[in-house]
Each structure stands twice: as C-alpha cells, then as structure tokens.
Amino acid sequence: MVTLTIDGKEVTVPQGTTILEAARSVDIRIPTLCYHDRLNPIGSCRMCVVEIEGYTHPMAACTTPVDDGIEVVTKSDRLTRIRQDSLKLILVNHPLDCPVCDKGGECLLQDLTYEFGIDQVEYKAAKVERESQYATPLIRYWPDRCIMCLRCVTACQEIKGIGAISIQGDGYGAQVVAVDAEKCQSCGECLQVCPTGALTEDLSRYKGRTWLVDRVPTTCTYCGCGCQLELNVQNDRVIAVTTREGVGVNHGSLCVKGRFGYEFINSDERLTKPLIKKNGKFEEASWDEALDLVASKFSAIKEEHGPGALAGLTSARCTNEENYLFQKFMRAAVGTNNVDHCARL
C-alpha cells in the first residue's frame, strides 16, 4: 500500500493506483474529460492535471500512478488556467450548437464549459476541415463537434478489439477516420463513450431532448446474454436505445442489434392483433377467438395422432421464464417431449 496526501487529505491505496483513482476513493473530484472508467487512461484532454509538491511540472492525474509520500494539489490558479485554456482551445473549433445537438443536456464539454465559466475565447485559428464520413451508416459523425478525446478510438480497440477507427494526420489537421471500415461491426461502442455530440445515432426519425425522454431500463431480447439497456421513450415511442456504464453483464456495451434494432417496435407493419385465415384471407380476431382456435386444433391433432404429432420450438428472444413455461406446457399439457429452442440450432 502507498500513502499520499491529496489536498492535504491522507489517502492509502494499493501500489499502481493512479492519482485520479486515489482522489476518487476519498471523494475528491478532479475534472476529467477524456477519462472513461472502462478504458485505459488516454491523457488527451489534460483537464485532470495536478501539481505534486517538489516537482516543477504538472502531471495528468489519470495517467500518473501514486507514489509514497507525495503531496498532490488538485486546485490552484495555475491549474485553473491550464484547464480553462484546454477548454478554450477546444472551443476554437467546437461550435456551441448545443441547442440543436442531440447530446445537449448530457454533454461533458457543455458541463465543463459551464463549470469553468468560459464565456469568451480569445484564441483564434482557422477552422479545420475534416471529412465527415464514418465507418457505418448507423452512426452520424459531426466532424466539427469532435474534440478528438480519442475515447471512441480507444473503445473500438480496447473493448471490442476491432480497431476500425483511428487517428490520421498530424497536428491541427489530425482527425478520427475509419481506417478499416470493413472491420466495423456497427456495435456503437464509439457512440456510447463519446462525451460530446460528435457521434450520434443516425437512425431514428424522431428526436427528443435528453431531459424530456423517459429512460426505461430493460433486458435486451435479441439473444440469451441478457444485456441491460434503456429504451428512450417519448410520447409512447421508443426513439433511441442507451446503456449505462457498469450496469448488467454488458457494462454498457451492446451489439448492433441491441443498440440499433428497435425501430420495429413502432413499425406500422408490426402485428398487434392476432389474425385468422378465413376463406384464404387473414382477418383480425380477438385473443380469445385465436386461442380457442389453437386449443381446439391442438386437441384434435392430439386426439387423432397422439401427442407425439405435436412439437414446439421457442425463440431466443423469449425470456428464460417464458421458455420454462413453454416446455412445461408442451410436456405437462400437451404431453410430448418434442420441444426445442432456436438457439440450439
């Protein structure tokens, strides 16, 4: 264990802990922007710089491991100046188009700009022109809004092990591009970790302000993994899917289906009532009618050919409970062991 002080408070943490983690363990907040719990520290934003007594150079708290006896200072005029300059430089390029941005209201840059009271930017440089193409049509890339924190690049590499996007070019002209677009699986991991509105989903025709939508936690129904997600609901419509870091088995990750496959919910083509074929044509029916019909047909088949003539196949999209009930129904009510599940095929 290593003991140090942060803003005068004594902290003891295991060796290898970063200064940022040590500070968080005693509820000292150091501002961060590029840091993300699920990623190795990136160190691009420099918002987390701290001073260490006896060392001339400020250091990034997110990338610096603690050392015995060091005295860390997280607030000073110099640090505030650096943090303000970091934000101001971002705003040289980043438009303050918050009113029309999907991320408005839950944007880390917006919050920090507010916190550090940046009301004007005296630094000027010609705007950088960046390509707007992205690896997948499901995600929209807003090049002007990209602050190049590199969370997306890191997440694609570290969480998914794919590396479809990377940084290209040097200096001011450096940009995030799809270096290997074919590898992209449209999982949206990049979108999930983007702290600003630079990556937004490019799917839903319906938009809603982040503070007006209801986020309904649920379990993804696409497969048996049980990923946790939140349906973003506005006026009884699902307009997006989001996830929460650290929740469920997926810790915030999803696959392309879970993140983007929600449009069917409000699809006009979706069946909402049972249909019974009469005279060669499907006609709407009530649930009672439909279930009665199925029950009578099943009974007839069983009567005539025995229960072995019936078989049941369920879907991976059903929950465990539903699958359990289904096999119980087939075995106990119908009387057959002919029951299977699509995930086994």
Partner 1 sequence: MAEILFSSWGGEVVDNRQKDGQDFEPVNTVDLPEYFRQDEAVKALMGWYGIVIRDPETDIVDLSRVYIQEVQNKSCGKCFLCRIGTRVMAETLTRICNGQGKSEDLEILKRLADSIRESSKCNIGQSGPLPILDALEHFAADFEAAISAQKSVAAGTYHSKLTAPCMDACPIHLDIPNYVECIKEGRFAESLDIIREKLPLPGVVGRVCVRPCEEHCRRMNLDAPISIKFLKRFVADYELSKGKEPEFAIEPSEKTGKVAIVGAGPSGATCAFHLAKMGHDVTVYERFDEPGGMSAMGIPDYRLPRPILREEVDRIERMGATFNYETTVGKDIKLSQLEADNDAVFIAIGAQMGTTMGVEGEEENYAGYISGVQYLLDINQGRDPYPEGKKVAVIGGGNVAIDCVRCSFRVGKDDVNLIYRRTKNEMPADDVEIHDAEEEKVNFHYLTHPVKILAENGKVVGLRCVKMELGEPDESGRRRPQPIEGSEFVIECDIVVPAIGQTMDLSLLEGREDVKTTRWKTIVVDEVTKQSDQPKIFSGGDCETGPGALITACAGGRTAAFNIDKLINGEPLDYTEDDYFDKFFSKVKVFDPAEDIGFLGGRERKELEMLDPDTRKFTNAEVEQGFSINDAMAEADRCLRCYRVATVRV
Provide the terminal-to-terminal Cα distance of the chain, rounded to the nearest Å.
52
Q: Does 48 help bind ligand FES (rule: CB under 6 A)?
A: yes
Tokens for 329? 């129904």
Quick check: 229 and 254 in contact, CB under 8 A?
yes
The binder of 344, among ligand FES, partner 1, none, by C-beta within 5 to 8 A per type, is none
Dist. CA 104–CA 97, nearest whole Å: 9
**What residue 268 binds from partner 1, ligand FES, none (CB within 5 to 8 A, per partner kind)?**
none
Question: Does residue 167 interact with partner 1 by CB under 8 A?
Answer: yes
Strands 339-341 and 312-314, bridge-based pairing:
parallel
Report the partner that residue 169 touches, choosing among ligand FES, partner 1, none (CB closer than 5 to 8 A by kind).
Answer: partner 1
Output b/e per residue, 76-107; b: 16+ Cβ within 10 A: eeebeeebbebbbebbebbeeebeebbbeeeb
Smallest separation, CB 34 to partner 1 (Å) = 9
Amino acid symbol at 257: K
> Shortest distance, CB of residue 120 to partner 1, whole angstroms?
13
Q: Which is nearer to ligand FES, 108 or 227 (CB)?
A: 108
Task: Choose which of 56, 120, 267, 272 interacts with partner 1 (CB under 8 A).
Answer: 56
Q: What are 201's strand-pairing partners?
A: 139
Number of H helices, E strands in the chain: 8, 16
State the Cα–Cα distance between residues 189 and 262, nearest whole angstrom: 17
Interface with partner 1 (CB under 8 A), residue from 39, 92, 285, 310: 92
Contact with partner 1 (CB under 8 A): which of 3, 25, 37, 67?
A: 67
Binding footprint of partner 1 on the chain (CB under 8 A): 43-46, 49, 52, 55-60, 64-65, 67, 70, 78, 81-82, 85-86, 89-90, 92-93, 122-126, 147-148, 150, 154, 157-158, 163, 167, 169-175
Binding footprint of ligand FES on the chain (CB under 6 A): 32-35, 43-48, 60, 62
